[in-house]
Amino acid sequence: MFKSASVSVSLSKADFKKREPALRSALLDAQQEMIASRAFSTLIVIAGVDGAGKNDAVARLHEWMDVRHVVCNAYGPPTRVERHRPEMWRYWRDLPPRGKTAIVVSSWYNDPLRDRVLGRDDQCTFEQRLARINRFEALLAHEKVLVLKFWFALDAKVQKQRLDALRGGKARARRILTEWADIEHSPDAQAVFQEAALTTSTVSAPWMVIPSEDAEARDLALGRSVELAMTHRLAAEPGEPVAVPAALARLERPSSVEAIDLGKRLAKDRYEEELEHWQRKLAHLVDRKAARKLPLVVVFEGNDAAGKGGAIRRLTRPMDPRRYRVHRIGAPSDEELARPYLWRFWRNVPRKGQTAIFDRSWYGRVLVERVEGFCSEADWARAYNEINAFEADLQEAGTLVVKFWLAISKEEQLARFEARQETPYKRFKITDEDWRNRLKWDAYATAAGDMIDRTSTAGAPWHLVSAEDKRHARVTVLKTLCKRLKAAL
């Protein structure tokens, strides 16, 4: 969830002033149309670490929207009256009527996150509380409530600087600091939120993570996301449950995929030396006795012609062919279409001591199927959580899951396509479908960015590899796999 949020974003004062009027007009128009139609209400949840500017962002929304139809609900420790009722009572009490907007600070996520970070809840209790939140938000969506959830992310060094500046004895600073999201608990808070987000980021209420180092860029991303979500909902058919577009906005920033440094190179003489070293290292690791108890899944995704096949061949060369299998995934067969989409991948899960290498994978649901319209938005939007659950099942069974995204530029892809057409023994690699997909480069880039953000987990992170230079990519893949294997063994 934090891959794209880690990409540095800055916005000049002049650029902000240039963009602000258009955004304010669009946001106000969407709000006024919602007020007039009374088709739904909007609930904006603001969360994040201390010092990320949550209060300032709320003030900006009040400045940009018609405040006669906006209320801000901020929750502290339960009062005596609230403690005598179920935990969710005070949130139910404050739900806005249709046509109105409520901004929620210290929401129903606050207590579960705090209690988990501080060790008051065990894992089972934490998961039960998240399940209750999912039921609550799903019910709201079916009852015409647009739920928008934003987590303001902040680099630990920047957070420390901000909090040090605030801790000058000012009353305002003392009010905004919490006992669990300050700098002392920041790493734990980020990890616990990421776990919560992967569980509670649903079709009807997805989380959007916004980098908050630059206040103007943060507020533009927030306002733009709210405006797009309202506009999307207003265009929906009457009677549909409220859903938030999964690809809500680029949040005024590049995705983690778009931010990959494609300039990395490896000299040919150095390549031969590095390749031999890491292949020898991989052979040693997979031959260890402990490796006989470890199932290994390696996933390759990336741009067409990014060199997945070449990287896989260098990876398998030092391995015992009896102990690995490469699965090259294409369009599903009739047999596979007649079953749930994860079925064909479950069939190829490796046993202990075996390796399954996927050249394309279950991520086709949120890439090609999404972009080409082979499944509905509801299907691919819910697939993120289904994929995370699938990979979590593999990890619980002791499987090491290693995922690579190989990236090249649009110009390099064209050069490789043309080279394939001119080389007789490579022509089979290029098809009319490849050329058609190239016309949708931007749509695939957006889908890939969303995929990385929503499926890069602590146990199965995405490794983003610059593949503009094939030698660099092949060595990087081998080196990364060896490091992950060594750690697992």
Which CATH number does the domain housing residue 68 bear? 3.40.50.300
| pLDDT for 334 beyond 90 | yes
Reported as a pLDDT band with limits 50, 70 and 90, residue 236 is confident
Identify the residue with better confidence: 64 or 379. Answer: 64
DSSP-derived letter for residue 263 is T
Cβ neighbours of residue 414 closer than 8 Å, sequence gap 6 or more: 438
CA distances from 63 to 15, 207, 246 (A): 19, 24, 27
pLDDT score, position 94: 96
Residue 67's identity, in one-letter code, is V
User: What average pLDDT does this structure show over 427-445?
Assistant: 85
User: What average pLDDT does this structure show over 348-357?
Assistant: 97
Q: Which ranges of 338-466 does DSSP label H, i.e. alpha helix?
A: 343-346, 368-372, 377-396, 410-422, 432-438, 441-455
Q: Is residue 252 part of a domain?
A: no
**Does 220 lie in the same domain as 280?**
no
User: What average pLDDT does this structure show over 412-430?
Assistant: 85
| pLDDT for 341 beyond 80 | yes
**Does 296 lie in the same domain as 225?**
no
Is residue 357 within 8 Å of 300, Cβ to Cβ?
A: yes
Model pLDDT for residues 76-87, shown as the tens digit of each residue:
889 999 999 999
pLDDT score, position 173: 47
CA atoms within 13 A on the CB side of 374: 13
**Does 311 lie in the same domain as 215?**
no
Sign of the four-CA dihedral 88, 90, 92, 94: negative
Q: Is residue 105 part of a domain?
A: yes
Q: Give the H/E segment covering residue 428.
A: none
Q: Is residue 259 part of a domain?
A: no
Three-state DSSP class for residue 202: coil
**Does 220 lie in the same domain as 279?**
no
pLDDT score, position 465: 97
pLDDT score, position 296: 97
Contacts 24+ apart (CB under 8 A), 24-28: 24/64, 24/223, 26/227, 26/231, 27/64, 27/65, 27/223, 27/226, 27/227, 27/230, 28/64, 28/65, 28/66
**Does 370 lie in the same domain as 457?**
yes
DSSP-derived letter for residue 151 is E
**Does 219 lie in the same domain as 166?**
yes
Identify the residue with better confidence: 428 or 356. Answer: 356
Closest CA to 78 of 104, 120, 111, 122: 111
In the structure encoding, which two tokens stand for residue 158, read together? 């920047």
User: What average pLDDT does this structure show over 213-240?
Assistant: 88
CA distances from 379 to 142, 230, 341 (A): 17, 21, 10
Q: What are phi and psi of 400, to 5 degrees?
A: -90, 120
Closest CA to 359 of 429, 420, 263: 429
User: What average pLDDT does this structure show over 315-332?
Assistant: 96
pTM of the complete model = 0.80
Q: Is residue 95 part of a domain?
A: yes
Model pLDDT for residues 50-66, shown as the tens digit of each residue:
888 999 999 999 999 99
**Does 226 lie in the same domain as 90?**
yes
| pLDDT for 172 beyond 60 | no
pLDDT score, position 237: 72
Closest CA to 400 of 297, 483, 326, 319: 297
**Does 303 lie in the same domain as 207?**
no
| pLDDT for 35 beyond 80 | yes
Q: Is residue 138 part of a domain?
A: yes
Q: Is residue 245 part of a domain?
A: no
Cβ neighbours of residue 344 closer than 8 Å, sequence gap 6 or more: 332, 336
Cβ neighbours of residue 162 closer than 8 Å, sequence gap 6 or more: 51, 154
Boundary residue ending a domain (218, 234, 250): 234
Residue 329's identity, in one-letter code, is I
Boundary residue ending a domain (208, 234, 260): 234
Three-state DSSP class for residue 86: coil
Reported as a pLDDT band with limits 50, 70 and 90, residue 175 is very low
pLDDT score, position 171: 44
pLDDT score, position 178: 62
pLDDT score, position 249: 44
User: What average pLDDT does this structure show over 403-424?
Assistant: 92
CA dihedral 432, 437, 440, 445 (to 10 degrees): -160
Burial label for 251, CB within 10 Å (0-12, 13-18, 19+), is buried
**Does 167 lie in the same domain as 312?**
no
Model pLDDT for residues 114-165, shown as the tens digit of each residue:
999 999 999 999 999 999 999 999 999 999 999 999 999 888 788 888 887 7
In the structure encoding, which two tokens stand for residue 245, read together? 């577009």
Q: Is residue 8 part of a domain?
A: yes
Three-state DSSP class for residue 198: helix
Q: Is residue 240 part of a domain?
A: no
User: What average pLDDT does this structure show over 285-314?
Assistant: 96
**Least reliable range by pLDDT among 100-114, 192-206, 423-437, 438-452:** 423-437
Tell me what the pLDDT averaged over the chain comes to: 89
Highest mean pLDDT among 57-66, 179-188, 202-211, 255-264: 57-66
Reported as a pLDDT band with limits 50, 70 and 90, residue 274 is very high
**Does 216 lie in the same domain as 286?**
no
Model pLDDT for residues 94-115, shown as the tens digit of each residue:
999 999 999 999 999 999 999 9
Structural domain boundaries enclosing 345: 268-488
User: What average pLDDT does this structure show over 3-32?
Assistant: 87
CA-only gyration radius of the chain, Å: 24
Domain tally, the chain: 2
Sheet containing 145-153: which strands, arranged edge to edge?
A: 70-74, 101-105, 41-48, 145-153, 207-211
Boundary residue ending a domain (219, 234, 249): 234
**Does 218 lie in the same domain as 278?**
no
Identify the residue with better confidence: 27 or 204. Answer: 27
**Does 178 lie in the same domain as 284?**
no
- Can you name the residues that pair with 152 across neighbouring β-strands? 48, 210
